[in-house]
């Protein structure tokens, strides 16, 4: 199975800050990399698919990039509603596997 | 609008069984693989199982293979997960999740609200 490693596991930031989350795959997943946002008590929400494709209705401050084994999710200017946990998920081969998550907290 | 309504969770003793259901609406159910994804308390997300749109192919995580059975009733637009030989480590919120593919497991664009399964004596 392909292992997905996210870093950092948590970070503290303020409204207006730019933040970057990294996801690394144990082998190439080409561009089959997706990002989710999850708020407490809620189901995950798909933000970005195919490494950089923003889902409909997702603000443009969310930016995904990368290919192969190294990927990033950047939030260009944090808004109050962005404090949440973020997960990457590869969908290259079965089984699809998630990263362990990155919690974005208020500084 | 896609709607996925998970149900069937509850408290069960170790070694017991439980069946989860997910009622789907708002999209052509047979056109998509459907999945179960779980989240243990305070932990991350784990894909558990998926079934192709036609129901002829099922996929399982190693952690549940041989104990869980996924199925679907396309006449009722409903997904199921039969969970047997439950263990404490199966305690989690279980989410039904719609795939973007029809014949394989990919990634998930719509989710149910989740149903809590607690395995404890």
Place of tokens 């690394």: A24
* Tokens standing for residue A105: 């907290």
- Quick check: A87 and B113 CB within 8 A? no
* Chain A residues closer than 8 Å to B65 by CB: none
Q: Judge residue B45's burial from the number of C-beta atoms within 10 Å of its C-beta, 0-12 exposed, 13-18 middle, 19 or more buried.
A: buried
The pLDDT, as a whole number, for residue B71 is: 98
Task: Find the residue in B nearest to A34 (Cα).
Answer: B107
Q: Name the residue among A3, A24, A5, A7 with its Cα closest to residue A69.
A: A24
Q: What's the average model confidence in pLDDT over A33-44?
A: 98
Could you give the CA distance from residue B85 to residue B64 in angstroms, rounded to a whole number? 10
Task: Find the residue in B nearest to A35 (Cα).
Answer: B107
Place of tokens 């099922």: B58
Q: What is the pLDDT of residues B26-42, one digit of tens each?
A: 999 999 999 999 999 99
Q: Name the residue among A87, A95, A82 with its Cα closest to residue A22.
A: A87
- Tell me the count of A-B CB pairs closer than 8 A: 50
* Chain A residues closer than 8 Å to B98 by CB: none
Q: What is the pLDDT of residues B72-112, one digit of tens each?
A: 999 999 999 999 999 999 999 999 999 999 999 999 999 99
What does DSSP say about strands B18-25 and B78-83: parallel, antiparallel, or unpaired? antiparallel
User: How many CA atoms, within 13 angstroms, populate the side-chain half-sphere of residue A106?
Assistant: 4
* Chain B residues closer than 8 Å to A95 by CB: 47, 59, 61, 105
Q: What is the pLDDT of residues A48-105, one digit of tens each?
A: 999 999 999 999 999 999 999 999 999 999 999 999 999 999 999 989 999 999 999 9
* Chain A residues closer than 8 Å to B61 by CB: 95
Beta bridge partners of B5: B23
């Amino acid at each position: 199975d392909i292992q997905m490693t996210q870093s950092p596991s948590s970070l503290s930031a303020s409204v207006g800050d730019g933040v970057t989350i990294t996801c690394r795959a144990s082998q190439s997943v080409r561009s089959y990399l997706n990002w989710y946002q999850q708020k407490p008590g809620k189901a995950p929400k798909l933000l970005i698919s195919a490494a950089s494709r923003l889902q409909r209705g997702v603000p443009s401050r969310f930016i995904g990039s990368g290919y192969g084994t190294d990927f990033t999710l950047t939030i260009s200017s944090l808004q109050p509603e962005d404090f949440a946990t973020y997960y990457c998920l590869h969908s290259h081969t079965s089984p699809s596997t998630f990263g362990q998550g990155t919690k974005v907290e208020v500084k | 609008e896609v709607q996925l309504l998970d149900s069937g969770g509850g408290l069960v003793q170790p070694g017991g069984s439980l069946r989860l259901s997910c009622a789907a609406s708002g999209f052509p159910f047979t056109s998509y693989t459907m999945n179960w994804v779980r989240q243990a308390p305070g932990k991350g997300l784990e894909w558990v199982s998926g079934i192709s749109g036609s129901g002829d192919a099922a996929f399982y995580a190693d952690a549940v293979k041989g104990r869980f059975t996924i199925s679907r009733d396309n006449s009722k637009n409903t997904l199921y997960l039969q969970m047997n030989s439950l263990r404490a480590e199966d305690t989690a919120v279980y989410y039904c999740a719609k795939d973007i593919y029809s014949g394989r497991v990919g990634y998930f664009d719509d989710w149910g609200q989740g149903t809590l399964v607690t395995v404890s004596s």
